[in-house]
Structure 1
Amino acid sequence: MGELAEMTINGLLCQECGGYLEDFEEPGYPRTCEDCLAYEKNKKRPTKDCTPS
């Protein structure tokens, strides 16, 4: 397994964007950074006007 994959699995890197997490801890499970969590929370579904026809 590659170094980046191990760091992601161990929780040092965000599982969505690959950025370092602010606490620099490795809890032993994949985690998501605050920015990715905020993006998912604020993401809106497309309206009928936005969908391709």
Structure 2
Amino acid sequence: MKIATAIAALALVSAPSLVMAAPGSCERVKSDIEQRIINNGVPADNFTLTIVS
């Protein structure tokens, strides 16, 4: 029982750091996608990407 409680406590403690890392990850994915589109010959002013949460 103590192991289950410890695992639950660890999950609760680490969850906020995962949530805080998500916006940076989304921005990184967005910039990667933008670069791929530009590399395929599409001018940067001909498209927009928006992160939807």
Q: TM-score, length-normalised on structure 2? A: 0.29
Greater share of helix residues, 1 or 2?
A: 2
Q: TM-score, length-normalised on structure 1? A: 0.29
